[in-house]
Structure 1
């Protein structure tokens, strides 16, 4: 398993204040998510161990995708995000594929993609001129019309999403073979 903690640690070392705090929180929760995949085979990474559709590899894919989309939102605004109100059944089916390992996908590939995404996000956090930059949220049933979100709030959302899914992955891993991230 590829560990990209050094990338985040380097970025955090050059960042100060709030940016360093954001990078440290991201690094912590990314570590716990990746840690759930330690020593797994591709088959195990794609295995469902609960009644949900979730698997460890799929959760890592989903978190990488979400992080990529939100980083693009910070840079380009709502045009970088899907219009969820106009999505078709096929669009939602494709989105559901983020949550599972598809034929031909490997855990190594999923982790490498996540590492690339994390490195790009970390660079954005350190180089973005202003964390207050704000854009209207994309159209979605769960977003209030006209609501905006700053880069800072987007990054906090990404941290929360990563932490939540690291917890899901921990439950799946414990159900798989008894291993835990903590304890």
Structure 2
């Protein structure tokens, strides 16, 4: 038996779709937050929703640059990552949220156009990874997806601690409203 594949998306489209779904879940979690709430550490952790958005934005920039520049001598800038999870005095939640959305678009465009998902990229060395490794573009992208999923879970817990909003409940309510209008 042969299955028709006329409308089956390719790998790149699937990667962009799955990443987009994960980002959407994160953005639902962040919807309607005030600047104060975005800076609030509402759990035993010091993580904040604004800090997570900043981190995820910079994470995407970092890995897309790592792929695009493919520097065999690169090293992770530990000092530069000092405030990776913190909104500093010069930061605003709204600015980082806008940058996150812009970076998402740039990352999607990169995924759509990168010449070879199997290309081996030298991964920057770091104190926790002193031996140079090489990963495919695909593996690096999947790492980004995993990081976003993990931090989306963190964000959901932080948001629930702030005001009781649950991303899953919000998305289910939105889906029910959409089906009622159809």
The one of 106, 118, 125 equivalent to 1:139 is: 125
**Which residue pairs with 1:26 in the alignment?**
19
1:63 aligns with 2:56: yes
Instruction: Give the C-alpha shift of residue 35 in structure 1.
Output: 1.5
1:82–1:173 distance in 2 versus 1, CA, 3 Å = farther
Find the aligned partners of 2:32 and 2:114 in 1 and give their Cα distance.
36
Q: Which runs of 5+ in 1 are unaligned?
A: 1-14
Q: Does the 8 Å CA contact 1:69/1:81 hold for their aligned counterparts?
A: no
Aligned-residue Cα RMSD (Å) equals 2.0
Report the secondary structure of 1:136's partner residue.
strand
Q: Which has the higher helix share?
A: 1
Rg (Cα) greater in structure: 2
Q: Which runs of 5+ in 2 are unaligned?
A: 1-7, 170-182
Aligned pairs for 1:74-113 within 5 A: 74-78=67-71, 82-83=75-76, 87=78, 91=79, 94-113=80-99
Size of the alignment, in residue pairs? 162
TM, length-normalised to structure 2: 0.82
Find the aligned partners of 1:64 and 1:83 in 2 and give their Cα distance.
17
1:165–1:38 distance in 2 versus 1, CA, 3 Å = same
